[in-house]
Amino acid sequence: MMLWHGGALAQPNKVAQRPQVTAADAAATLGEMPLSTPGPVRVRAGTAQTASDAISVTVPLDLVVLTEPVNVGVISLTLSYDASLLSATACQLSDALTLLRCNIATPGQIRLAGVAPRGIRSAVNLAQLVFTPQQSINLTAPLTIQLDVVGDVDGAAVSTDSQAGTITLTCALNERCNGLNVYLPWVNR
């Protein structure tokens, strides 16, 4: 019985030796196809400051290619936020990717995924995220990003990092807010 192993036929119970390939050999074998460079690609959430009684606040979500040869073709991420402080009300998608989808149905999470068959080689806006403050409170709410998949146009994984964002809620000038409301009964004498 013959087994297929690592591109060569192997005998059962024998370990197939993998040939050593240098970067020059790989480049010559691939010809014109560029190798995926594990240069950093950053996904960053913006920051915003608003009065806690504001109707909404908008924060950008951007993709930044920091190394020239990287050509991002696919992305999938989850942005997390404190659902007791904020409610995601809209995800206004850019046209930076050919197919881009956003899901805000789960409180505390925004899921975004997309593909760009021709690739992205520079900084682009992925979406404008719209939140509604849920409380009158002086507080900074973090927006954290978990990158599930970032790959180049050939499907190879790309080295990435993320930059968290924040939304700072501040009380209106004449409003006294600390997140606690005490309601006392009205007494007429």
Longest dimension (CA), the chain: 99
Q: Burial, 127: exposed, middle or buried (Cβ in 10 Å; 0-12, 13-18, 19+)? A: buried
pLDDT (mean) for 6-28: 37
Reported pTM: 0.69
Q: How far is CA 177 from CA 4, 78, 82, in A?
A: 69, 31, 19
CA-based torsion, 127, 112, 80, 123: positive or negative: negative
- What's the mean pLDDT when you consider all of the chain? 75
Q: What is the pLDDT of residue 77?
A: 96
Structure tokens at 183: 């309601």
Q: 114-154, pLDDT tens digit by residue?
A: 999 999 988 999 999 999 988 777 888 999 999 999 999 99
Domains of the chain: 37-157 (2.60.40.680)
CA-based torsion, 143, 37, 120, 105: positive or negative: negative
Confidence of residue 53 (pLDDT cuts 50, 70, 90): low
Greater confidence, 168 or 175? 168
Greater confidence, 158 or 1? 158
Q: What is the pLDDT of residue 183?
A: 44
Q: Do strands 3-5 and 8-10 pair parallel, antiparallel, or not at all (unpaired)?
A: antiparallel
Confidence of residue 110 (pLDDT cuts 50, 70, 90): very high
Nearest to 69 by CA among 102, 35, 100, 94: 35
